[in-house]
A = this chain, B = another copy of it.
Amino acid sequence: MVRSMHEFTDETAALSDAIQVLTRQRLEHDQPLDRASSPDALTERVGVTITPEGIGGEEALRIWAEVLAPSTLSTDHPAFLAFVPGAPTKASVLFDVAISASATYAGTWIEGAGAVWAENQVLGWLAALAEMPAESGGCFVSGGTAGNLSALVAARHAASIARGGKPPTGWRVAVAESAHSSVASAGRVMDVELLLMPVDDGDRLVGEAVRETLAGRDDVFAVVASAGSTNAGVIDDLENIADACEDARDWLHVDGAYGGAGLLVPSIRDRFRGLGRADSFIVDPHKWLFAPYDACALLYRDPAMARSAHRQEASYLDSLNVSSEWNPSDFAEPENDDRARAGDPRPDGLRHPLRVAKR
């Protein structure tokens, strides 16, 4: 029984056939219109699934296809307009399928070179689109929350180095009232206070509000602006905000998780002016870049600084330190998993992967 778990048996072949049919149907036909159910109703319909003998793949698939999938909304349904819907292309879904079957780990170069190379192509394209410098770089994380948290951890690290440690009254991060809830969440996790900045009549953060907030303070390590707020799609006054941050020597993080894809829309592209001066920037490809759930692209202007903030060390990982290739897990917090990197910070030895095309 245990042996067959890892072997391709007749049972595996039958399950593979059935799942291929299901997958093809899902791609070829209209998305099903699903409906949530109550826990009790599901329990009644499904019964016991975890047993000493196991229920087998065929029965598990029947339960999924007949009961659980119809109770799980298709977030790509054309009528699903709640929250932030997904709209993956057919091709992106198919490549997700291919990756599911390939046991890749793209957290380090030594293990995931091909996948990391491909990711870096996309990051380079996004950096160019945002008009960030060619030295920019980063990684993909699971979503905007992880992206905002990782960027702010790097920002605090940079401020701590530049200012010789934590201010006596603790660190603060300046955010617009309109910022996404995940920024407040990052503040709680990091144990930093939020300085709320007022927005104008159009719900827009402008440079003057940032200047007034930062004036006379040395406890602010970052300013968070939106490139398309999640609640209302507002793009802040990035150019003047960047000026204010530059004058105050503060890190500018731009949250474009929701709206960053607007960079590709000629009629609104001008509104993003100043984005290229951000110290960090995120955009979620699972939104208007038509990738499957879920992905957040995280870019840093100074990836060596970000790496020194996020790197992990562990003796079982020492061998990862022999090269200076690009290890995505070095650039974000919740992605720093099993293969977290070992060794001392070596920002000088960081080999930069991006070939950012001039636009």
The chain B residue with its CB closest to the CB of A113 is B36
**Contacting pair B144 A338 (CB below 8 A):** yes
Say whether A321 faces chain B, with CB atoms less than 8 Å apart. no
**Contacting pair B189 A43 (CB below 8 A):** no
Residues facing B in A95-147 (CB within 8 A) are 95-106, 109-115, 117-118, 120-122, 125, 141-146
Stretch from A61-69, A241-249, A271-279, A298-306 forming part of the interface with B: A61-69
**What are the 3 tightest A-B residue pairs by CB atom distance, in nearest-first order?**
A68-B114, A71-B114, A143-B337
Q: Mark A244-284, 1 if CB is under 8 A from B, else 0.
A: 00000000000000000000000000000000000000001
The chain B residue with its CB closest to the CB of A192 is B191
Q: Determine which of B12, B104, B143 lies in contact with A27 in the assembled complex, contact meaning CB atoms within 8 Å.
A: B12
Q: Determine which of B156, B290, B339 lies in contact with A5 in the assembled complex, contact meaning CB atoms within 8 Å.
A: B290
**Contacting pair B8 A104 (CB below 8 A):** no
**Contacting pair A6 B105 (CB below 8 A):** no
Residues facing B in A316-339 (CB within 8 A) are 316-317, 319, 325-326, 333-339
Which of A120, A191, A317 has most B Cβ within 10 Å? A191
Q: List 8 A-B contacts (CB under 8 A).
A: A20-B24, A26-B102, A57-B94, A64-B114, A73-B105, A73-B110, A75-B111, A77-B103
Knowing A26-B101, A97-B97, the reply to whether A337 touches B182 (Cβ < 8 A) is yes
Q: Determine which of B29, B57, B334 lies in contact with A143 in the assembled complex, contact meaning CB atoms within 8 Å.
A: B334
Q: Determine which of B77, B113, B189 lies in contact with A333 in the assembled complex, contact meaning CB atoms within 8 Å.
A: B189
- Shortest beta-carbon distance from A292 to chain B in Å: 7
Measured between alpha carbons, how far is A89 from B61 in the docked complex, in Å? Answer: 15
Measured between alpha carbons, how far is A286 from B96 in the docked complex, in Å? Answer: 18
